[in-house]
């Protein structure tokens, strides 16, 4: 009996450890693009203290930046398009741009952040039909100006809305997110 008790305890311990939930990994826009990205640099947002440190890394690295956000149940990976990190949104077509702050989504007018899913869906699924919205999901670029403390939350919200839209469409969409240091406000209409 004395020999069996330690074996049962070890077996129970192994069983409990085996039942621990594993942290799920989610990739934006998809795992294929993440795996196919050569020379990537993973930047863990949870470890950064200041917004300036994030942009210092983004602007000085020769690698493709991948933002990692760690939550209790998931790890989120956002592959950033390196080619447009230094590009001003004013040089791109307004119809292919969506501006996001910590409290609002802006296109032609300012909407509350709770309207993110609707605004994103309208642009991602437009396919050039309405001249006010993105020509395609590959052309749509989200410009995000959010202070570092709220950055992870807003990015996860963007990613969740994107995955919901992509799943409902049953086809692969693209997601391009450009972090910005400046709050690009849309100019008032003439």
pLDDT band of 76, cuts 50, 70, 90: very high
Dihedral over alpha carbons 85, 89, 92, 94 (to 10 degrees): 140
* Mean pLDDT, all residues of the chain: 79
What's the pLDDT score for residue 77? 93
CA distances from 59 to 66, 76, 116, 148, 152 (A): 13, 21, 27, 16, 19
User: Across residues 87-106, what is the average pLDDT?
Assistant: 74
User: Across residues 37-65, what is the average pLDDT?
Assistant: 83
Is a pLDDT exceeding 60 seen at residue 184?
no
Between 178 and 67, the more confident residue is 67
What's the pLDDT score for residue 49? 78
Cβ-contact 42, 64 below 8 angstroms: no
Q: What are phi and psi of 21, to 5 degrees?
A: -65, 135
User: Across residues 102-111, what is the average pLDDT?
Assistant: 84
Crossing angle of helices 148-169/51-60, nearest 10°? 60
User: Across residues 112-126, what is the average pLDDT?
Assistant: 88
The proportion of the chain whose per-residue pLDDT surpasses 90, expressed as a percent, equals: 3
User: Across residues 94-121, what is the average pLDDT?
Assistant: 85
What pTM value is reported for the model? 0.76
Cβ-contact 143, 97 below 8 angstroms: yes
pLDDT-wise least confident of 8-17, 96-105, 164-173: 8-17
User: Across residues 41-52, what is the average pLDDT?
Assistant: 83
Burial 111-139 (b: 16+ CB within 10 A, else e): eebeebbebbbbbbbbeeeeeebbbebeb
pLDDT band of 181, cuts 50, 70, 90: low
What's the pLDDT score for residue 149? 79
For residue 61, the Cα-to-chain-centroid distance in whole angstroms is 19
Is a pLDDT exceeding 70 seen at residue 108?
yes
User: Across residues 101-105, what is the average pLDDT?
Assistant: 84
């Amino acid at each position: 009996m004395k020999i069996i008790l330690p074996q049962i305890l070890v077996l129970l311990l192994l069983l409990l450890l085996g039942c621990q939930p594993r942290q799920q990994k989610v990739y934006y826009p998809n795992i294929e693009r993440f795996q196919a990205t050569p020379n990537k640099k993973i930047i863990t947002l949870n470890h950064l203290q200041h917004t300036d440190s994030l942009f210092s890394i983004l602007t000085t690295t020769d690698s493709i930046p991948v933002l990692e956000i760690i939550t209790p149940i998931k790890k989120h990976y956002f592959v950033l398009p390196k080619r447009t990190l230094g590009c001003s949104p004013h040089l791109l077509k307004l119809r292919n741009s969506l501006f996001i702050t910590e409290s609002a989504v802006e296109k032609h007018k300012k909407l509350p952040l709770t309207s993110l899913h609707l605004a994103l869906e309208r642009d991602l699924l437009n396919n050039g039909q309405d001249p006010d919205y993105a020509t395609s999901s590959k052309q749509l670029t989200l410009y995000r100006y959010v202070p570092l403390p709220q950055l992870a939350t807003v990015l996860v919200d963007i990613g969740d809305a994107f995955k919901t839209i992509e799943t409902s469409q049953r086809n692969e969409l693209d997601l391009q997110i450009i972090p910005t240091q400046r709050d690009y406000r849309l100019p008032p209409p003439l």
